[in-house]
């Protein structure tokens, strides 16, 4: 089984970090005990630009969870349709060729889910198997690839699709001026990505079949009693961010051992990994990953660049880095890559790829 | 140790309830368990103490106490009237 294609989509409204900070200062004004705390936090998030589904001036008009979630649904469907088409078209496929769709998001809810709404808009077969995933957060990009690969491993003649739509700007809370929310508003952006995962017996045109890396193995790791590290406190006004300063600590304490044992299980070591496709969590997380794995400078350049250009897109972030890797930094045949993300639980998902 | 060094070491130590002898110029913020928020709060205190304005985006490049000392010296020098042209 292999990753055959990735399509991405970003909403139209793009802002510099300074523009976002200024808008939030205007919006929150006197609610902020120290306005410079916001601008200083935002200036040090490792983010230069972000895309949002609405123009900045429209956000204060969104009042209450329903209005916000309705925007999530309409924009999620629109961005989902775009990135699915972008993922399938280069392979000469349509949604009629998809046997299973995994949909991951943690920034809104719907039933029927976004994938169901897309099935009504695009020619998926009526027999398509749907697996909506809510709550995995940032780890869902890597975990979604892992679960889709589990599926095509069982059904090697089939093609699975992973779709992640994350509209993080819709979770901004007007009545939360906590440090976690100030950081969240400086770090997270909106975006979507779709990944085509093909079974071993799927025959694509020769020029396209070798387009992406093989998925050799995956591993989930759950860190017990770390619920406080990251997640949402869900209330009357929607999703309120839970973000502990302990995230880098959990990375430092666990990542290396978990990666080494995963690689050893697959007969290779850290030095055999030619490239790293990591979720762009934020500067502290990426620095912790570099420290933990003793990575050379620029080993996570793709993640840092993605963070700078679009911010943290939760589950879609690692898929953005994957898309860039497929387009601009493919491995030479036979070499290995690790795709990885961490998220609420707290947990880690590792995917071993071979080019 | 000059005045700027000793005052910054005092400030850093106080921010983490340490004694000045626990803090060296080469102490890293990681060693001192100073996270990004601590660093921002420290930057406000440094600004007040030395009457300077630290550029918002410069904080990520500060990894050690010595980096702060150098940054303060640079900002103070830039704020002084140019002696050569007077």
Q: Which residues of A touch B59 (CB under 8 A)?
A: 40, 43-44
Q: What was the pLDDT predicted at A1?
A: 95
Pairs of residues, one from chain A and one from chain B, whose beta carbons lie less than 8 Å apart: 30
* Pairing state between β A129-134 and A214-222: unpaired
The residue out of A177, A207, A237 marking a domain boundary is A207
- By CA distance, what is A246's nearest residue in B? B35
Residue B25 lies in a domain: yes
CB–CB of A44 and B44 under 8 A?
Answer: no
A37 touches chain B (CB under 8 A): yes
Measured CA to CA, the distance from residue A109 to residue A104 in angstroms comes to: 11
Q: Is the separation of the CB atoms in B42 and B33 below 8 Å?
A: no
Name residues of chain A where pLDDT drops below 70: 206-211
Range of the domain at A132: 2-207
Residue B86 lies in a domain: no
pLDDT in tens, A19-59: 999 999 998 888 888 888 899 889 889 999 999 999 999 99
A39 touches chain B (CB under 8 A): yes
Q: What value does the mean pLDDT take over residues B27-48?
A: 88
Annotated catalytic sites of A, by residue? 138
Q: Are residues A189 and A276 in the same domain?
A: no
Q: What was the pLDDT predicted at A206?
A: 63
Closest by Cα among A282, A310, A36 to A169: A310
The residue out of A207, A237, A268 marking a domain boundary is A207
A48: its two tokens: 């230069």
Q: Are residues A305 and A278 in the same domain?
A: yes
Residues 6 or more apart from B65 whose CB is under 8 A from it? Answer: B8, B9, B12, B23, B24, B25, B26, B27, B32
pLDDT in tens, B57-85: 888 788 899 999 999 999 888 877 654 44
Q: Are residues A269 and A232 in the same domain?
A: yes
Q: Are residues A217 and A189 in the same domain?
A: no
Q: What interface predicted TM-score (ipTM) does this complex get?
A: 0.76
- By CA distance, what is B56's nearest residue in A? A40
Q: What was the pLDDT predicted at A17?
A: 95
The helix (H) or strand (E) run that includes residue A2 is strand A2-9
Q: Is the separation of the CB atoms in A235 and A245 below 8 Å?
A: no
Query: Domain count of chain A?
Result: 2
Tell me the nearest-neighbour CA distance from B40 into chain A, angstroms: 7
Longest CA pairwise span in chain A (Å): 61
Residue B48 lies in a domain: yes
CB–CB of A44 and B43 under 8 A?
Answer: no
CATH number of the domain residue B60 falls in = 1.10.1200.10
CB–CB of B57 and A36 under 8 A?
Answer: no
Residue B85 lies in a domain: no
Closest partner CB to A284 (pick from B36, B56, B57): B36
Is the model's pLDDT at B3 over the cut of 90?
no
Query: Domain count of chain B?
Result: 1
pTM of the model: 0.90
Closest partner CB to B57 (pick from A34, A43, A284): A43
The helix (H) or strand (E) run that includes residue A89 is none
B33 touches chain A (CB under 8 A): no
The residue out of A207, A224, A244 marking a domain boundary is A207
Mapped to the 3 state alphabet, what secondary structure does A199-235 carry?
CCCCCCCHHHHCCCCEEEEEEEEECCCCHHHEEEEEE
B28 touches chain A (CB under 8 A): no
Q: How confident is the model at residue B1 (pLDDT cuts 50, 70, 90)?
A: low
Q: To 5 degrees, how large is the angle CA A249–CA A252–CA A253?
A: 85
Q: Are residues A173 and A239 in the same domain?
A: no
B74 touches chain A (CB under 8 A): no
CB–CB of A43 and B56 under 8 A?
Answer: yes
Phi, psi torsion values for A165, nearest 5 degrees? -125, 120
B18 touches chain A (CB under 8 A): no
DSSP-derived secondary structure for A273-324? EEEEEE----HHHHHHHHHHHTPPTTTTHHHHHHHHHH-B-THHHHHHHHHH
Residue B84 lies in a domain: no
């Amino acid at each position: 089984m292999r990753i055959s294609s990735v399509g991405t989509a970003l909403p139209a409204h793009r802002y510099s970090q300074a523009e976002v900070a200024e808008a939030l200062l205007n919006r929150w004004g006197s609610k902020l005990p120290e306005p410079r705390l916001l601008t200083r936090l935002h200036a040090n998030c490792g983010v230069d630009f972000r895309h949002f589904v609405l123009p900045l001036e429209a956000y204060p008009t969104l009042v209450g969870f329903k209005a916000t979630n309705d925007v999530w649904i309409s924009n999620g469907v629109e961005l989902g349709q775009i990135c699915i088409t972008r993922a399938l078209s280069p392979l000469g496929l349509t949604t009629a060729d998809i046997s299973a769709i995994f949909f991951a998001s943690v920034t809104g809810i719907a039933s029927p889910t976004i994938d169901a709404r897309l099935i009504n808009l695009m020619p998926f077969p009526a027999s398509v198997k749907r697996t909506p995933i809510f709550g995995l957060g940032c780890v869902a990009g890597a975990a979604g690839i892992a679960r889709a690969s589990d599926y095509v491993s069982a059904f090697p003649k089939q093609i699975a699709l992973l779709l992640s739509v994350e509209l993080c700007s819709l979770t901004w809370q007007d009545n939360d001026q906590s440090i976690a929310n100030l950081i969240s508003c400086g770090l997270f952006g909106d975006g979507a990505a779709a990944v085509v995962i093909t079974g071993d017996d799927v025959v694509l045109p020769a020029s396209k079949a070798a387009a992406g890396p093989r998925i050799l193995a995956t591993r989930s790791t759950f860190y017990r009693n770390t619920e406080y590290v990251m997640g949402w406190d869900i209330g009357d006004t929607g999703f309120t961010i839970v973000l502990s300063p302990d995230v880098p600590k959990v990375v430092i304490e666990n990542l290396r051992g978990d990666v080494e044992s995963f690689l050893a299980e697959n007969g290779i070591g850290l030095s055999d990994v030619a490239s790293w496709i990591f979720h762009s969590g934020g500067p502290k997380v990426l620095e912790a990953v570099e420290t933990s794995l003793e990575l050379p400078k620029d080993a996570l350049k793709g993640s840092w660049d993605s963070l700078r250009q679009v911010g943290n897109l939760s589950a879609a972030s690692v898929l953005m880095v994957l898309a860039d890797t497929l387009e601009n930094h493919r491995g030479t045949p036979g070499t290995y890559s690790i795709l990885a993300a961490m998220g609420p639980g707290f947990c880690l998902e590792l995917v071993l790829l071979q080019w | 140790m000059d005045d700027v060094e000793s005052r910054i070491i005092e400030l850093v130590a106080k921010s983490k309830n340490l004694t000045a002898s626990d803090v060296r110029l080469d102490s890293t913020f990681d060693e001192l368990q100073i996270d990004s928020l601590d660093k921002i709060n420290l930057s406000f205190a440094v600004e007040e103490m030395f009457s300077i304005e630290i550029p918002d985006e410069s904080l990520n490049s500060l990894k050690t106490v010595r980096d702060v000392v150098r940054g303060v010296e640079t900002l103070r020098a830039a704020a002084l009237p140019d002696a050569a042209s007077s």
